[in-house]
Amino acid sequence: MGNMLVINSMLPEVRVALLEYGRLAELYIEREHERGIVGNIYRGRVVRVLPGMQAAFVDIGQEKAAFLYVGDARMAADGDEELGEEGESEPSEENKEELRIEDILEEGQAITVQVSKDPLGTKGARLTTHITLPGRYLVFLPRFSHIGISRRIGDAEERERLRKLMEGIRPEEGGFIVRTVAEGASEEQLRRDVDFLMRMWTEIRRREESAQAPELLHYDLNVALRSIRDICNDETERVLLDNPEEFYRVRRFLDSYMPEAQFSVELYQRHEPIFDAFGISHEISRALARKVWLKSGGYLVIDQAEALTAIDVNTGRYVGRRNLQDTILQTNLEAVQEVVYQLRLRNIGGLIIIDFIDMERTEHRDRVCAALVQALKADRAKTNVLKISELGLVEMTRKRVRESLGRTLTEPCFYCNGTGMLKSKTTICYEIFRELMRMADSMEGRTIQVNAHPSVVEQLFSQERGVVDWLEKLLNRKILIRPRESFHLERYAINSY
């Protein structure tokens, strides 16, 4: 069984699932009213230049001003630079020292920018002036003259073949990066991609000439077509869709844009929901859980905070067959595979700390670290892993472009405001007792009524009954306790009559 793309688009929410050998590996969700803007190109207006931060805020017509860092703004002025894998740019150290944001931009200036990261949490979108237009096999770089080859194409002869082909068909202006999927591509396939991308860029420039900032110049494909363009490769066997309109849209897209595609495109017509039929719904629920069980009986605890994500590995019910160190090693090795799987599925980015179970032997630590690096090779997001410490901690980063699955599908609890903690019922009971003593002198009636959440009321009648009786004698008043289903656990109200 090869890879399959399953697309659920019956509602204004489109969900795209990548199944690798029958198991959910990646999930993309796009809602009509929350559609991501990564890849969109805007004519924006600089609203504020911040020399202290070496950045600028740019109005692109979104709710929050977007953020343009000097390293991303500098590209338009610098021209050619060293290009990383699949279109990432790595400015030289010399340029980093020479140019400052106030030398490049001024408030009120109109500037053409592309969104490199969606708004995340309280942050606006991140921008770049380094425009990139992705095609099937190529990425067009209008403001560069470089021909780059994806680092994931390892064969030296193939790299040289692709480079020579591109030198022969490239236009006079602009550069290209040859994508990983282009390995083995023919000259005709590459030429078709070049022509398509040049037509797209010509249209963007035409709109740019008459644009009134802020204005959208170009928007990327929707998540279904974008996923087919970027994810489908020689290992893809099927694309399955449950929406007839989207099915025919995909077929038209493939006919004009990817006519050489070898995978089949099928319309799913069974009664059972498509994500249920392939077990995807269950995997999504699992990807939202804090605790993830391993097959051996060990488990992971995943805590995602604003600054970093912490993943704790535990042996749980796994006791092993030989000795403690063997048990720890096997649990950590199993955890490596699940950690990488969860990072991809949940789309967790930024700083990640993995707390593996402490290993006494250096060779065990090296083995676990090597297994982690190897497993991450299947991840299309850029990662960087530091060596495992003596305490079993691994620090790593994973490139973050869009919101994680958890933040896409959930929101902070309105009870605890995202802290994950509530006051205990005992704590609330004693808050009530102290409030009764505080208010006693100002109460006019002889009867006090306490309204509280049913769970708190139950505790007042059971464990704290003796304190209630004692307070009635101390305050010389009758205390009536009434449950209120509508009350938050921490809420209570006290009055007298």
Domain limits, the chain = 3-34+223-281, 41-218, 288-409, 425-496
Other C-beta atoms closer than 10 Å to the C-beta of 159 total: 16
CA distances from 349 to 31, 38, 345, 383 (A): 21, 16, 11, 9
Please name which of 119, 139, 142, 140 lies closest in space to residue 129, comparing C-alpha atoms: 142
In tens, the pLDDT along 421-473 reads: 889 999 999 999 999 999 888 888 889 999 999 999 999 999 999 999 999 99
The structure tokens listed for 256 are 């004009």
Give the model's pLDDT for residue 136.
84
- Where are any strands of DSSP class E within 342-391? 350-355, 383-385
Assign 121 to helix, strand or coil: coil
Q: What does the alpha-carbon distance between residue 481 and residue 78 come to, in Å, rounded to a whole number? A: 73
> Which CATH number among 1.20.1440, 1.10.287, 3.30.420, 2.20.25 corresponds to the domain 3-34+223-281?
3.30.420
Give the model's pLDDT for residue 91.
37
Distance of alpha carbon 309 from the chain centroid: 12
Cβ–Cβ under 8 Å, residues 354 and 394? yes
Task: Render the burial of 390-421: b for 16+ CB within 10 Å, e for the rest.
Answer: eebebebbbebbbbbbbbbeeeeeeeeeeeee
Other C-beta atoms closer than 10 Å to the C-beta of 238 total: 16
Q: Which parts of the chain have pLDDT scores under 50?
A: 76-96
Q: What's the half-sphere exposure (Cβ side, CA atoms, 13 Å) at 333?
A: 12
Q: What does the alpha-carbon distance between residue 399 and residue 104 come to, in Å, rounded to a whole number? A: 27
Cβ–Cβ under 8 Å, residues 225 and 166? no
Give the model's pLDDT for residue 69.
93
- What topology is assigned to 425-496 in CATH? Hypothetical Protein Ychn; Chain: A, (3.40.1260)
Q: What is the DSSP letter of 489?
A: T
- What topology is assigned to 41-218 in CATH? OB fold (Dihydrolipoamide Acetyltransferase, E2P) (2.40.50)
Residues in a beta bridge with 34: none
Q: Which residues contact 486 (CB under 8 A, 6 or more apart)?
A: none
Q: Which residues contact 274 (CB under 8 A, 6 or more apart)?
A: 6, 8, 240, 242, 268, 280
Q: What does the alpha-carbon distance between residue 44 and residue 67 come to, in Å, rounded to a whole number? A: 11
Environment class of 193 (CB within 10 Å of its CB; exposed 0-12, middle 13-18, buried 19+): buried
What helix, strand, coil percent values describe the chain, rounded to 5? 35, 25, 35
Tell which phi-psi region holds residue 418, choosing left (phi > 0), alpha (psi between -120 and 50) or beta: left
Please name which of 199, 209, 140 lies closest in space to residue 175, comparing C-alpha atoms: 140
Assign 321 to helix, strand or coil: coil
Q: What does the alpha-carbon distance between residue 276 and residue 385 come to, in Å, rounded to a whole number? A: 35
CA distances from 328 to 342, 365, 366, 368 (A): 20, 11, 14, 11
- Where are any strands of DSSP class E within 35-153? 41-50, 55-59, 66-69, 110-117, 126-128, 133-134, 138-141, 147-149
Give the model's pLDDT for residue 122.
76
Q: What does the alpha-carbon distance between residue 354 and residue 395 come to, in Å, rounded to a whole number? A: 7
